[in-house]
Amino acid sequence: MCHVAAQVALTTILARLASASGADSAATLVDQDELRAIVAEVLADSETRSSLADEGIAGHDGRFFLRSADGDFTLRVSGQMQFRYNLNVREEDDSVNQDEFESGFNNPRTRVAFHGNVQDKRLFYRVMLDFDPGNGNAVLQDAWAGYDFDSGWTLRWGQGITAFMREWYIGDWKLFSVERSLQSLVFGQFRSQFVDLKWRDENLRFIGTFSDGFRSANTQYTADPADWALTARAEWRFAGEWDQLTDEFRSPRGSGYAGSLGGALHYEQGPDTGASADEQGLFAWTADTLVKGDGWNCMLAGVGYHVQDEAGVAGADFEDFGLLAQAGFHVTEKLELVARYDVIMPDEDRAAGDDFNTIMGGFNYYFHGHAFKLNFAAMWFLDPTTETAAGNFANSGARNPTSPAFGVLPSAEEDQVTIMVQVQLLF
């Protein structure tokens, strides 16, 4: 803080000198005793300013922050901007006036986040707003707080991504490619309102969650489709460090070997409102393995949904499955080639019970890590979207593998192709 005090002192002295010379235009020099008095007064004032400045710190350690001197109060401000070009080609369907060629720009994620700690370094929080790419309205995504007990245990509560499917739990900042897989669109947990308890030691990690069910963000407690839900996820780290396995898929050149096995179980109970579609129970499971090395990474994952109708309605019980395989390889320090295959396999008893296969290939170019990167992905959707529906629960309705954000548009024909080019900036 000494340089700040010196700058304040110098500025004030110059101002006093200018004032003194202006008051008496005939004078060319300031009396030396007066000058010494000015210097003493300003230095005394600057010492006070330095002490006040020591009570708080502002800076940048990858993200802008404000912090108290003891570290018990911290506010970090961060943001994410994604700008994307989309090109989609599908066979024309004259029955619905469908355009066979779509292209254009959008901003899939424009976000501002505030996070830090209050009162205690162990009491932390996060709030994040997302500006809807369709209308620009701000939507609450994350609003959670937690406490770190310094013994491997962490308690968290609020709204955010819960621990079920790894592809979702790693988060939105460090995706494998431009976007997540279609498997995660149909079966993923998205965001929920929850309380979770996490325990971690050198090789094991466990997270137990009590929530309003999958995809329950920004809802009242009276909202359907679930009355309550329980989730348990466990992971075993068999190589490397936890930081290599919990934050991102990428493994830059020079990284050590790391790997983990994970799995999760989930159950949520639908309401008993008298409507047969509501009175259901959902049992979901997922299993995955993530392995990394010197410039390469790969993951295998599977998921299953088992919906049981408790009202005894014929044909209302379904079993749907999904599989995913992906790999990335750095050909240079900054250029990573990526490829992914995923398949959605609905129950054959569904009206739309055909498998849906997707092949993706592309690259990521890391100008400055994930903070500034270019993503390119070409996706080939082998099957019609209208012949596949899976992953429904209670009154939520079965989900078709259709989403402009994920690159796939409604089509009754095979061989739809989408190309996405995206620039991401984190601050």
| Cα 67 from Cα 71, distance rounded (Å) | 6
Q: How far apart are CA 147 and CA 128, in angstroms?
A: 18
Task: Provide the pLDDT for residue 217.
Answer: 96
Q: How confident is the model over 211-230, as pLDDT tens digits?
A: 999 999 999 998 878 999 99
Estimate the share of the chain in helix, then strand, then coil, as percent rounded to the nearest 5.
15, 50, 35
Q: 234: closest CA among 151, 166, 300, 183? A: 166
For residue 300, the SS3 value is: strand
Give the up-direction half-sphere exposure of residue 299: CA atoms within 13 A in the CB hemisphere: 28
Averaged confidence pLDDT in the chain: 88
The answer to whether residues 393 and 226 touch, using CB atoms and an 8 Å cutoff, is yes
Residue 143: count of CB within 10 angstroms of its CB: 18
Residues of the chain with pLDDT > 90, as a percent, come to 72
Q: How confident is the model over 372-426, as pLDDT tens digits?
A: 999 999 999 999 999 999 987 765 678 889 999 999 999 999 999 999 999 999 9
Q: Residue 310 pLDDT more than 70?
A: no
pLDDT digits (tens, 9 = 90+) for 84-111: 999 999 997 765 667 899 999 999 999 9
**206 φ/ψ angles, rounded to the nearest 5 degrees:** -135, 140
Rounded CA separation 387/357 (Å)? 12
Per-residue pLDDT at 50 exceeds 70: no
CA dihedral 47, 50, 51, 56 (to 10 degrees): 170
Question: Mean pLDDT throughout 226-244?
Answer: 97
| pLDDT of the residue at 323 | 99
Other CB atoms within 10 A of residue 305 CB? 24
Given this model, what pLDDT does residue 46 score?
54
Residue-by-residue DSSP string for 353-413: B--EEEEEEEEEEEEETBTEEEEEEEEEE-S-GGGB-B---GGG-PBPS-BGGGTB---SS
User: What pLDDT shows up at residue 34?
Assistant: 65
Residue 182 has which token pair? 């279609």
Chain centroid to CA 52: how far?
Answer: 37
DSSP β-bridge partners for residue 289 = 261, 300
Where do the domains of the chain lie, and which CATH numbers do they carry?
Answer: 2-53 (no CATH), 56-426 (2.40.160.10)
138-177 confidence digits (pLDDT tens): 999 999 999 999 889 999 999 999 999 999 999 899 999 9
Q: What is the largest CA-CA distance in the chain?
A: 105
Per-residue pLDDT for 360 more than 60? yes
Report the distance separating Cα 424 and Cα 279, nearest Å: 43
Question: Exposed e or buried b for every residue in 216-246, given b needs 16+ CB within 10 A?
Answer: bbeeeeeebbbbebebebbbebeebebebbb
